[in-house]
Amino acid sequence: MKPQPKALTFLTLLSALFLAGALAMVFLYAPLEAVMNYVQKIFYFHVATAWVGMLGFIVAAVAGVLYLIRKDLKWDIVELAAVEISLVFFLIAIVSGSIWARPSWGTWWTWDARLTTAAILELVYLAYLLLRQGIEDPERRARFGAVYTLIGGISVPVTFLSIRLWQTIHPAIIGTASAEAQGGFDMAPAMLHTMFFALIAFSVIFATLLWQRIRLGKLAEQVEQMKLKISE
Amino acid sequence: MSSDRKGPTPSSRPPASFSRAVFAVAWKDLAAELRSRELLSAMLVFALLVILIFNFAIELAPSLRPTVTPGVLWVTFAFAGTLGLNRSMAIEKDRGCLDGLLLAPVDRAAIYFGKMLSNLTFMLIVEIVVLPVYSLLYNTNLFVPGLLGVILLGSIGYVAVGTLLASMAVQTRTRDVLLPILLFPVIVPVLLSAVRASGGFLQGLPMEQIRPWINLLAAYDVIFLAVAYMVFDQVVEE
Amino acid sequence: MIKVRKLVKRFGLKTVLRGLDFEVRTGEFVALLGPNGAGKTTFLRILASLSRPTLGELRVAGYPLPSQAAAVRARLGVVTHMPLLYGDLTAEENLRFYARMYGLGQADIRLAEVLELVGLSARRRDLVRTFSRGMQQRLAIGRAILHDPEVMLFDEPHTGLDQEACDMLDRILREVAARGRTVVMTSHDLARVEDLASRFDVLSRGVITASAGRDGLGGNLLDFYRGALAG
C-alpha cells in the first residue's frame, strides 16, 4: 500500500485550517443581521455546502461522459466519489436551508425551485446507488452508472428550469413574495467577504474529499485484486 | 472465405435498413401483444384502479375537477406506464431474445427505436381508453384537441427515457423494483410540463400561457431521444 | 474462417480468457470442450460479437471484430441454450421477424424450406409457447440458419433435451455441417460430440490446452480430454 501522498496530507490540513477560518469569520467578523439575528449565520455554510453539491454534480456528469468515451474504470471511481460527496453536501444544504426557513418564513419547507431541485437530485443519487448495487459485473456497473449520471445531468437542470417556469406563471404558494423567498436581504461588505471565504474553504474541502474518496476507491480495487490472487 | 461462395462483393447481402428493422421490432411486439394481451390488460386494469383510488383518496368534487384532473391523469399514465415498460423489456430477457436482437446485423439504435415505438403505442392505447372512462365517471369533457397533443408529446418523452432505463433495469438483480425508482426522478420535467399544459387546455387558458410548457415538452423529447440514440448500445452491449 | 490471436477477456478484475489462440478452417466442425467455468460461453459470446474482447485480435468470416461487427453478424448463425424466440408468436412469425431483421426480402420460400429442414412444417402456425423444449431448440436452429450463415456457433445446444430431442438435434447438426458450414460447438457431454465433430479443442483456465483432429485423438476422446485437463 502506498502511503498517503504529501500533497494530500497538506490539502487535508489546509481544509481544516480553512474550515476553522470560515467559522471564525462567520462568528467574529461578519456582523449580526438586523432582522434574523444569529439564524442568518447558517446562510454562509448553507450556500457553501450547496456549492460543493453543485461541484460534485458537475464532476460526476463529466466523469460519466469520460467513462463512456474512454471505458477506463478510473473515471467510474471519480464519478462515484463525486456522487457520494454531492449527495451528502446537498443533504446538508437542504437541512440547513430548512433550519433557515423555519424562523424566517415560518415553514420548514418551501417549494422553491432550488430547494425542490436539490431534493429531486438527492433522489436521482439514491436511484443511482440502488442501480449500482444491483449489478455484479464492474464494467456493466460503470457503464450503467455513467449512462444514468448523464441522464440525470441533463434532466436535473431541465427540472430546475421547469420549476422556475412553474413559479413565474403561478404565484408562490407559500405566503411570502418570491423576491424574499430567494433569500434576499441587504448584504454588508463583511458578510460578502465571509460568504466568499466560506465558498473557497468548502471548495478546498471538496477537493480534499474527492481526492481521499478516489484514493479509497483505488485501494478497494487493490484489495479485490489481492483477494482474487489468493483465491486462484 | 466468403468470396468463393458469395460472389465478389464483400457484402453480397445488404444489411437490413434502419427503418425496416425499427418497424420489424415494433411489429413483432404488437403482434405478440395482440395475441396475449397480457401487457395491455395489466396496464389498463391498473390505470382504472388508480383512477378509482384517486376518487377515494382525494375528493374529486366538481368544483375541483378542472385543476385536479390533469394531475390525476398524468399520475395514472406514469404508473401504468412503468408496468408496461417493465413487462415489455422482461419479454426480451426471458427467453434470451435480447441476444437474438443483438445478433441481427442492424444498428442497435434501431432496436431502441422499435421498442420505443411499441411502448409508445401501448401507452397511447391505454390513454385512449382511460380518457373516455374518466370523462364518463367524472362528467368532464376531455376531448380537447390541444390536450390530445400534450398527451402525445408527454408520452413520447416518458417512453423515450423509460425504454432506455427499462433496458438497464432488466439487466440488474433488482429488476422488478428498480424501474420506477430510476425513471420518476428524471421525468419530473415531463410530468410537470404535461400537467401544466393539460390543465391549461382544460381550463381554456390563452395559448401564450400554455406555449412555454409545450416548448419544454418538445425540447425534452428531442434531447432525450438523441441521448438514448447515442447511449443505447452502451446499455445492451457487454 | 475464424482466427483468434491472444484473446484476453476480463470482467472487471477477473480474467476469464488469458491470451487464447484459436483457428478454424472453412468447413471444420470444432467441438469446444472444457469444464464448467472454463470460459467456453464467454469465448463463444465474443465470437458472436455479443461481448467485446478486452485485448486480442479476432476475425470471423473474414471480418475483424468488434470493428466490423455488423458484417460478421450477417454471416453468423448462433444457437445457445436459450431459444431466443418469442413465446407469443407462432413458429412462422418468429422466423419472419428474424428474416426482416436480417434484411431478407421475400422470405416465404426460405421460411418453408427452413421449417421443413427442422421438421416443424406441420406446426408452423402454433405458438412457440406451446412447443416442447426440443421443438423450441429445433426452431432456434431454424432461426440461426435462416440467412444461410457461413459460420455457426452452438453453445451447449443439448442442454435440457431428452434423448429423442437430442437425436433429432444431432441429425440437424449433421445436415448443417454437411452443407460445408463452419461450426463451433461447446459441450461438456463428450459422448454426444464424439461422432459429430471433426476436431476437438479443450478450453481450460482461459486457454486452449489441446487440439486434435478426429484421427489424432490417439485412442478415445475421454482419454484425450483427461490428458488435456491434467497437462
The structural domains of chain A, with segments of one domain joined by +, span: 39-231
Q: Grade residue B65 by pLDDT with cuts at 50, 70 and 90.
A: confident
C22 pLDDT higher than 60: yes
User: pLDDT for C41-60, tens place per residue?
Assistant: 999 999 999 999 999 999 99
Q: What is the pLDDT of residue A179?
A: 43
For residue A172, what pLDDT is reported?
Answer: 44
d(CA C196, CA C182): 13
Say what the pLDDT of residue B237 is: 82
Q: Chain A: nearest CA to C80, how far in angstroms?
A: 21
> Is residue A178 over pLDDT 80?
no
Nearest CA in chain C to A141: C12
Task: Name the pLDDT band for B3 (thresholds 50, 70, 90).
Answer: very low
The set of long-range contacts for C159-168, using a CB threshold of 8 Å and a minimum separation of 24, is C159/C81, C160/C81, C160/C133, C161/C133, C161/C134, C161/C137, C162/C133, C162/C134, C164/C134, C165/C132, C165/C133, C165/C134, C165/C135, C165/C137, C165/C138, C166/C134, C166/C192, C168/C119, C168/C134, C168/C138
The reply to whether residue C84 touches residue B13, judged by beta carbons under 8 angstroms, is no
pLDDT, position C66: 86
Domain ranges of chain B: 11-235
Question: Are A151 and B188 in contact (CB < 8 Å)?
Answer: no
Whether the pLDDT of residue C131 is over 90: the answer is yes
The 10s digit of each residue's pLDDT in C95-128 is 999 999 998 877 889 999 999 988 899 999 999 9
Q: Kindly state the average pLDDT of the residues B44-69.
A: 85
Least confident of B60-69, B72-81, B143-152: B60-69
B103–C87 CB contact, under 8 Å: no
- For residues B136-153, give the mean pLDDT: 91
More confident residue, B78 or A167: B78
Binned at pLDDT 50, 70 and 90, residue A182 comes out as very low
In B, what residues contact C, Cβ < 8 A?
Answer: 1-3, 5-6, 10-11, 13-17, 20-21, 24-25, 27-28, 31-33, 35-36, 38, 91, 94-97, 99-107, 237-238
Instruction: Tell me the pLDDT tens digit for each residue of A88-121.
Output: 999 999 999 888 888 877 888 888 888 889 999 9
d(C-alpha C203, C-alpha A75), whole Å: 34
C103 CB within 8 Å of a chain A CB:
no
DSSP label of C53? -
What is the pLDDT at residue B121? 97
Helix (H) or strand (E) holding C187: strand C182-187
Please state, in angstroms and rounded to a whole number, the distance separating the CA atoms of residues A188 and A170. Answer: 32
Is pLDDT above 90 for A19?
A: yes
pLDDT for the residue A229: 84
* pLDDT tens digit sequence for C146-186: 998 999 999 988 888 888 888 888 888 888 888 888 999 99
Stretch A128-135: mean pLDDT, rounded? 95
Domain ranges of chain C: 1-75+150-231, 76-148
The verdict on B223 touching A (C-beta cutoff 8 Å) is yes
Task: Count the neighbouring beta carbons within 10 Å of the beta carbon of residue B149.
Answer: 15
Mean pLDDT score across all residues of chain C: 89
Nearest Cα of chain B lies from the Cα of A83 at a distance, in angstroms, of 15
Return the partners of chain A (3 or more C-beta pairs < 8 Å).
B, C
SS3 sequence of chain A: CCCCCHHHHHHHHHHHHHHHHHHHHHHHHCCCECCCEHHHHHHHHHHHHHHHHHHHHHHHHHHHHHHHHHCCHHHHHHHHHHHHHHHHHHHHHHHHHHHHHHHHHCCCCCCCHHHHHHHHHHHHHHHHHHHHHCCCCHHHHHHHHHHHHHHHHHHHHHHHHHHHHHHHHCCCCCCCCHHHHCCCCCCCHHHHHHHHHHHHHHHHHHHHHHHHHHHHHHHHHHHHHHHHHHHC
Tell me what the mean pLDDT of segment A174-182 comes to: 43
> What is the pLDDT at residue B138?
86
pLDDT at B74: 96
ipTM surpasses 0.85: yes
Percent of chain A with pLDDT over 70: 90
Output the pLDDT for position B193: 95
Per the prediction, chain A carries an average pLDDT of: 87
**Which CATH architecture is the domain C1-75+150-231 placed in?**
3-Layer(aba) Sandwich (3.40)
Confidence (pLDDT) at A169? 61
Q: Mean per-residue pLDDT for A132-148?
A: 94
pTM: 0.91
Question: Of B1, B28, B238, which has the smallest distance from its Cβ to C89's Cβ?
Answer: B28
Q: Is B132 on the interface with A (CB under 8 A)?
A: no
